Amino acid sequence: MVIVPEIFGATASRPNRTDWLAATPRLLECSARHHSLQRVIIVASGRGESIPLLIFASEQQELALDLDLPSDADNIFQRLIRNPHIESDTPRERECTEMLCAVLLNTHRLRLHLLNWLAKSVDQDAGDLADLDYRIDTEGSIGSKRDDLRIEGWRSQEDQQTLVLLWTIEVKVGAWFHESSIQDSTIPTTAEDEERVELVNQLVNYDHWLCHQPAEHRAGFVLALDDMACDLPTNLTMPWHCLTWTDLAEQVIEAISTNDLPPSEEMLAKHLLGFIKKHLWRVSGMTNDRIEFDDLALLRAFASIGVDCDKKVTRLVAQLEGMLKEADIGEGKIALNQTLFRTYLRCTIYRYFFLPEEFPYPILVAGVEKDQLIVFIESAKGYAQKPAITQAIRSVEDRLKERNQEWRVPSPEDHQGLRDLEVRLPLTNLLVAPDQEAVFLEFFRKAFEDINQVGVVQAIQERLVGSKAV
| 418 inside domain | yes
Considering the domain architecture, whether residues 222 and 102 belong to the same structural domain is answered as: yes
The residue ranking higher by pLDDT, 178 or 122, is 122
Helix (H, G, I), strand (E, B) or coil at 266: helix
Considering the domain architecture, whether residues 81 and 22 belong to the same structural domain is answered as: no
Considering the domain architecture, whether residues 326 and 430 belong to the same structural domain is answered as: yes
| 85 inside domain | yes
Domain span at 330: 305-469
**How confident is the model at residue 227, as a pLDDT?**
86
Tens of pLDDT, residues 56-95 = 444 445 554 567 899 988 999 988 886 655 444 556 788 9
Beta partners for residue 199, in sequence order: 181
- Mean pLDDT to the nearest integer, 271-291: 76
Tens of pLDDT, residues 233-245 = 888 999 999 999 9
Name the region of 259 (left: φ>0; alpha: ψ -120 to 50; beta: rest): left
Number of domains in the chain: 3
Q: Which of 237, 144, 147 is nearest to 187 (CA)?
A: 237
Give the side-chain half-sphere CA count within 13 A for 79. 8
Considering the domain architecture, whether residues 368 and 271 belong to the same structural domain is answered as: no
Q: Which of the listed residues 237, 256, 285 is the one where a domain comes to its end?
A: 285
Considering the domain architecture, whether residues 337 and 224 belong to the same structural domain is answered as: no
What is this structure's pTM?
Answer: 0.55
Position 440 pLDDT exceeds 90:
yes
**How confident is the model at residue 54, as a pLDDT?**
46
Share of the chain above pLDDT 90, in %: 45
Considering the domain architecture, whether residues 335 and 210 belong to the same structural domain is answered as: no
| 65 inside domain | no
Tens of pLDDT, residues 310-352 = 888 999 999 999 999 999 999 888 988 877 776 667 899 999 9
Query: From CA 310, how far away is CA 338, in angstroms rounded?
Result: 9
Considering the domain architecture, whether residues 187 and 328 belong to the same structural domain is answered as: no
The residue ranking higher by pLDDT, 299 or 29, is 299
| 109 inside domain | yes
Q: Which of the listed residues 59, 86, 103 is the one where a domain comes to its end?
A: 59
**Going by DSSP bridges, is the β-strand pair 160-171/217-224 parallel, antiparallel, or unpaired?**
parallel
Query: From CA 279, how far away is CA 139, in angstroms rounded?
Result: 23
Position 437 pLDDT exceeds 70:
yes
Considering the domain architecture, whether residues 382 and 419 belong to the same structural domain is answered as: yes
Beta partners for residue 369, in sequence order: 346, 372
Position 127 pLDDT exceeds 80:
no
| 82 inside domain | yes
Q: Which of the listed residues 254, 285, 316 is the one where a domain comes to its end?
A: 285
**How confident is the model at residue 81, as a pLDDT?**
84
Over the chain, what is the mean pLDDT? 80
Alpha helices per DSSP H over 59-170: 76-80, 93-105, 109-121
CA 281 vs. chain centroid, Å, equals 17
The residue ranking higher by pLDDT, 88 or 389, is 389
* 386 CB-near residues (< 8 Å, 6+ apart): 361, 379, 380, 420
Considering the domain architecture, whether residues 249 and 317 belong to the same structural domain is answered as: no
Considering the domain architecture, whether residues 132 and 236 belong to the same structural domain is answered as: yes
Judge contact between 408 and 398, C-beta under 8 A. no
